[in-house]
């Protein structure tokens, strides 16, 4: 019954009417830089079940690390690679797993993990503050004639600073009620009625909207509203690119799903001035996502790659794996029977690699 539904996006993917296509602009193997200088290489990885493996990540590519559960993917990428990069760039205290060396790290300028963890743990956090778009919005309001006459600066329009916010809820718009043996409950502030600001602040308007009205706009509405303000619209357009046009700017971070939080983070990265030397790490980013959301996510990952950055993704989803430029397949099994590199190369090569479960199931998707 579902498969026959013509107005169902889910049915379209399940029935095969819609599918995630192999990207037209995937970097062909002949264009991948085979010079040693174009690679980040781990030497002698032997943590947990890894069997003293050497593996290289081609820089400027979208790379998937694959293999059955327990084959050593997380150990290689998170316990060793991520921790080693964080210690190198940020002096992180976490000790990397056992390995002998890391070559080529001088070719990247930072490492970033983008996961599905929350962008904030209280209703005070929201997409607009995380993305950085709220700062130029507050500065815009502070430059309005009515605000300048009153001596208001950008801080006046922050709900985290005394002066412009509602002091009853301290700018949260909600009052926290602590419950014994139960999670805290939030109720709407009876003074500002969820508007976050005091009356004087809300008297300042831009194109007929005050700062609380702006926070109530969806990303789609706000992108049109601020289309002539590049410092704001660039960040909002990045959120549109990742399919978050329906979110409200001031929507509490606690109401976002893991996939939504991850896309807010991706949009924030997209909006930054690209150096082309960033190393991104994602662990199963498609977990819990719909087919259509996966397609949006892939589109964003390709944009980051096309800017010259490197993306390493631990993934089981074949629809994502088939879109990668390069695969590193671990196995052959999990646990003690895993921890070896079964193959490395473009998806077509792994599909023909003997002993690769990934290749076995990937082969039909590449025909």
- Report pLDDT digits (tens) over 183-217: 888 899 999 999 999 999 999 999 999 999 999 99
The pair of structure tokens assigned to 207 is: 């194109």
Closest Cα partner for 311 from 350, 269, 282, 344? 282
Mean pLDDT across the stretch 30-42? 73
Q: Following DSSP, what letter does each residue of 253-279 receive, concatenated? A: GGGS-HHHHHHHHHHHHHHSPP-S-EE
Closest Cα partner for 301 from 282, 327, 326, 322? 282
Asked whether the predicted pLDDT for residue 142 surpasses 60, the reply is yes
Mean pLDDT across the stretch 257-267? 90
The SS3 call for residue 248 is strand
Asked whether the predicted pLDDT for residue 71 surpasses 80, the reply is yes
What is the Rg, in whole angstroms, of the alpha carbon atoms belonging to the chain? 24
The pair of structure tokens assigned to 251 is: 């929507």
CA–CA dist 313, 175 (Å, integer)? 40
User: Which are the contacts of 135, defined by CB distance < 8 A and separation ≥ 6?
Assistant: 154
Beta strands across the sheet bearing 53-58:
53-58, 39-45, 101-103
Tell me the pairing of strands 110-113 and 278-283: parallel
Which range is least confidently modeled, 22-31, 188-197, 278-287, 303-312? 22-31
46 versus 116: which is more confidently predicted?
Answer: 46
Asked whether the predicted pLDDT for residue 34 surpasses 90, the reply is no
Q: For the structural domain made of 18-117+257-366, what CATH number should be given?
A: 3.40.50.300
CA–CA dist 234, 240 (Å, integer)? 10
- Residue 364: how many other CB atoms lie within 10 Å: 9
Closest Cα partner for 49 from 366, 353, 333? 333
Q: What confidence tens digit (pLDDT) does each residue in 312-344 have?
A: 999 999 999 999 999 999 999 999 999 999 999
Query: Could you tell me the sign of the dihedral formed by the alpha carbons of 111, 107, 320, 307, in that order?
Result: positive
243 versus 141: which is more confidently predicted?
Answer: 141
Phi-psi region of 355 (alpha: psi -120 to 50; beta: other; left: phi over 0): left
Taking the domains of the chain in order of start, what are their residue ranges?
18-117+257-366, 127-254
CA–CA dist 131, 255 (Å, integer)? 16
- In eight-state DSSP terms, residue 31 is G
367 versus 73: which is more confidently predicted?
Answer: 73
CB 322, CB 362: distance < 8 Å? yes
The pair of structure tokens assigned to 220 is: 């789609």
Omega before 19 within 30 of 0, i.e. cis: no
Burial of 202 (0-12, 13-18, 19+ CB in 10 A): middle
CA–CA dist 250, 134 (Å, integer)? 10
229 versus 116: which is more confidently predicted?
Answer: 229
- Percentage above 90 pLDDT, the chain: 71
| Contacts for 174-182: CB closer than 8 Å, 24+ residues apart | 174/123, 174/252
Q: For the structural domain made of 127-254, what CATH number should be given?
A: 1.20.1580.10
Phi, psi (deg, nearest 5) at residue 134? -70, -30
Phi-psi region of 207 (alpha: psi -120 to 50; beta: other; left: phi over 0): left
Q: Would you place residue 1 in the very low, low, confident or very high pLDDT band (cuts 50, 70, 90)?
A: low
Asked whether the predicted pLDDT for residue 353 surpasses 60, the reply is yes
CA–CA dist 247, 218 (Å, integer)? 5
């Amino acid at each position: 019954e579902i498969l026959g539904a013509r107005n169902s996006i889910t049915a379209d993917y399940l029935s095969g009417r819609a599918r995630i296509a192999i990207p037209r602009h995937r970097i062909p193997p002949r264009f991948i830089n085979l010079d040693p200088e174009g690679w980040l290489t781990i030497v002698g990885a032997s943590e947990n079940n890894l069997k003293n493996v050497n593996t290289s990540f081609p820089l400027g590519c979208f790379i998937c690390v694959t293999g059955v559960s327990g084959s050593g993917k997380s150990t290689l990428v998170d316990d060793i690679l991520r921790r080693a990069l964080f210690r190198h760039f940020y002096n992180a205290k976490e000790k990397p797993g056992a390995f002998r060396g890391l070559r080529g790290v001088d070719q990247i300028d930072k490492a970033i993990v983008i996961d599905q963890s929350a962008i904030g743990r209280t209703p005070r956090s929201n997409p607009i503050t995380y993305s950085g778009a709220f700062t130029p919005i507050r500065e815009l309001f502070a430059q309005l004639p009515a605000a300048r006459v009153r001596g208001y600066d950008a801080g006046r329009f922050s709900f985290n600073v005394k002066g412009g916010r509602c002091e009853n809820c301290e700018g949260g718009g909600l009052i926290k009620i602590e419950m014994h043996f139960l999670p805290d409950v939030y109720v709407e502030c009876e003074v500002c009625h969820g508007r976050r600001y005091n009356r004087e602040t809300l008297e300042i308007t831009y194109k007929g909207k005050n700062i609380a009205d702006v926070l109530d706009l969806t990303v789609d509405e706000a992108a049109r509203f601020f289309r002539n303000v590049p410092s704001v619209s660039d960040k909002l357009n990045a959120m549109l690119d990742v399919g978050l046009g329906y979110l409200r700017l001031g929507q509490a971070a606690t109401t976002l799903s893991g996939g939504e939080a991850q896309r807010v983070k991706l949009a924030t990265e997209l909006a930054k001035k690209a150096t082309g030397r960033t190393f991104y790490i994602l662990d199963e980013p498609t977990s819990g996502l719909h087919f259509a959301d996966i397609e949006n996510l892939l589109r964003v990952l390709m944009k980051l790659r096309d800017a010259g950055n490197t993306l390493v993704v631990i993934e089981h989803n074949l629809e994502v794996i088939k879109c990668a430029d390069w695969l590193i397949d671990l196995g052959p099994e999990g646990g003690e029977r895993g921890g070896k590199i079964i193959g490395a190369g473009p998806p077509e090569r792994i599909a023909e690699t003997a002993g690769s479960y990934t290749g076995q199931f990937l082969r039909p998707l590449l025909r």
